[in-house]
């Protein structure tokens, strides 16, 4: 079924973002600003693919609630990313701020929240995949 393939693509993409890309780029000690910009570009390209994919999944899936939950999770992440992007423009180069500067701490916390929401989306998509497979 096409909807299962779309959901598998979404799950696999989230898995790569959460367990490969984010840890590699966001835990660097130096050039955090450059790594963060690179991660942001990857994330926005993911959104550009994931959003239409989830719309198609919603249309094709038998259980519309799952599609709506997945879309709400993705839109939550897009909102957080948009806020981070705007805040980042406001504070400038993160490397120029002291590690415990209030602005840097806020940015780091919201960035971790974004990754947590991605992880929750991953868990939800995994649950739906298992539910579909078993049911």
**pLDDT 10s digits, 3-48:** 889 999 999 999 999 999 988 887 877 888 888 889 999 999 999 9
| Max Cα-Cα span within the chain | 53
Which structure tokens are listed for 28?
Answer: 């660097």
- Give residue 91's pLDDT: 93
Distance CA 15, CA 119 (A): 8
- Decide if pLDDT at 115 tops 70: yes
Burial class (CB in 10 A: 0-12, 13-18, 19+), 2: exposed
Q: Could you read off the pLDDT of 61-93 as tens digits, one per residue?
A: 888 999 999 999 999 999 999 999 999 999 999
pLDDT band at 125 (very low <50, low <70, confident <90, very high): very high
Nearest-CA neighbor of 39 among 52, 24, 53?
A: 24
Give residue 135's pLDDT: 59
């Amino acid at each position: 079924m096409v909807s299962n393939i779309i959901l598998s693509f979404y799950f696999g993409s989230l898995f790569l973002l959460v367990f490969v890309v984010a840890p590699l780029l966001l835990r660097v000690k130096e050039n955090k600003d450059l790594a963060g910009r690179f991660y942001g570009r990857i994330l926005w390209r993911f959104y550009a693919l994931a959003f239409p994919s989830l719309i198609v999944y919603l249309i094709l899936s038998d259980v519309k609630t799952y599609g709506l939950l997945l879309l709400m999770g993705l839109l939550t992440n897009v909102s957080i990313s948009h806020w981070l992007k705007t805040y980042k423009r406001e504070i400038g180069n993160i490397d120029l701020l002291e590690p415990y500067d209030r602005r840097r701490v806020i940015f780091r916390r919201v960035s971790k929240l974004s990754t947590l929401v991605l992880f929750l989306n991953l868990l939800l998509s995994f649950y739906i995949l298992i539910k579909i497979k078993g049911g």
